[in-house]
């Protein structure tokens, strides 16, 4: 996957893509640290505008027994606890995550004050590989642009898809609510 495949809601800044690629490849590489604890398969980190790591964490729905413990939601909660605020806006933070935010995380990011989102594997591919349901997100990148939230996606996709495929090959849990329909 090259920079040409990257999607963004602003004119593409190659330096931002290069930085995001490095960070997201690192998050993918550390997934085994989290799956060993029963977490995963998605990993997220929040960085400040100077490039300092604020928090890094993973999805912990299964090991945390909580349906909203997605990687992005966990990262936002940890950052808010660390900084002692419900509004991350004044801290000028960016969220990096190994896959496109689901419908819940899209809302969580919007409410958090995060200024920029960089994600790896797009939702369609996540659904095809894993069977997770990413939810309904009409024009979310445009809706974020209107609110001043930058979005870059499809970063390090090939490596990210391999990581998700490996998670499936290991027979790990794809957690979904059971419904009669
Ligand atoms: Zn989510």
CA of 112 to the centre of ligand 1 (A): 14
| Interval between CA 35 and ligand 1 midpoint (Å) | 17
Of 72, 88, 78, 79, the residue nearest 135 (C-alpha): 72
| C-alpha of residue 10 to centroid of ligand 1, in Å | 23
pLDDT in tens, 127-177: 999 998 899 999 999 999 999 999 999 999 999 999 999 999 999 888 888
Task: Return d(Cα 120, Cα 126) in angstroms, integer.
Answer: 10
Q: Is residue 115 within 8 Å of residue 80, measured between CB atoms? A: no
Measure 105 CA to ligand 1 centroid, in angstroms: 4
Q: Which residues, 6 or more positions from 149, have their beta carbon under 8 angstroms from its beta carbon? A: 109, 110, 114, 115, 116, 117
Cα Dmax for the chain = 49
Ligand 1 geometric centre to CA of 110 (Å): 13
C-beta separation of 153 from 122 below 8 A: yes
**Residues with Cβ < 8 Å from 88, sequence gap 6 or more?**
46, 76, 79, 80, 112, 113, 114
Cα of 125 from ligand 1 centre, angstroms: 15
* Bridge partners (DSSP) listed for residue 46: 55, 95
Burial 26-45 (b: 16+ CB within 10 A, else e): ebbeebeebbeeebbbbbbb
Distance between Cα 15 and ligand 1 center (Å): 27
Least confident of 33-37, 72-76, 98-102: 33-37
pLDDT for 30 equals: 95
Distance 77 CA to ligand 1 centre (A): 13
1 pLDDT tier (thresholds 50, 70, 90): very low
CA 13 to centroid of ligand 1, rounded, Å: 26
Q: How many whole angstroms from 102 Cα to the centroid of ligand 1?
A: 4
Across the range 36-60, mean pLDDT stands at 95
Please say whether the dihedral angle defined by the alpha carbons of residues 45, 76, 95 and 48, taken in this order, is positive or negative.
negative
Residues with CB under 5 A from ligand 1 (ion): 70, 102, 104-105
Q: Per the structure block, which two tokens stand in for 7?
A: 């999607």
Tell me, in angstroms, the distance from the centre of ligand 1 to residue 14's CA: 26
DSSP secondary structure code for residue 41 in this structure: S
CA of 104 to the centre of ligand 1 (A): 5
| Distance in Å, CA 162 to ligand 1 centroid | 19
Calculate what percentage of the chain has a pLDDT beyond 90.
89
């Amino acid at each position: 996957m090259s920079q040409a495949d990257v999607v963004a809601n602003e004119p593409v800044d190659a330096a931002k893509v290069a930085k995001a690629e490095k960070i997201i490849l690192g998050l993918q590489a550390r997934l085994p640290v989290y799956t060993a604890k029963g977490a995963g398969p998605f990993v997220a980190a929040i960085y400040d505008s100077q490039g300092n790591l604020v928090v890094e964490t993973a999805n912990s729905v299964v090991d945390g027994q909580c349906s909203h413990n997605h990687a992005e939601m966990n990262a936002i909660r940890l950052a808010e606890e660390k900084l002692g605020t419900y509004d991350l806006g004044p801290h000028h933070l960016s969220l990096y995550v190994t896959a496109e935010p689901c419908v819940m995380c899209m809302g969580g990011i919007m409410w958090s004050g995060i200024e920029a989102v960089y994600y790896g594997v797009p939702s369609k591919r996540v659904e095809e590989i894993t069977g997770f349901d990413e939810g309904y997100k009409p024009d979310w990148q445009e809706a974020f642009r209107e609110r001043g939230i930058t979005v870059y996606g499809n970063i390090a996709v090939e490596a990210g898809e391999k990581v998700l495929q490996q998670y499936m090959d290991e027979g790990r849990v794809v957690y979904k609510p059971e419904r009669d329909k």
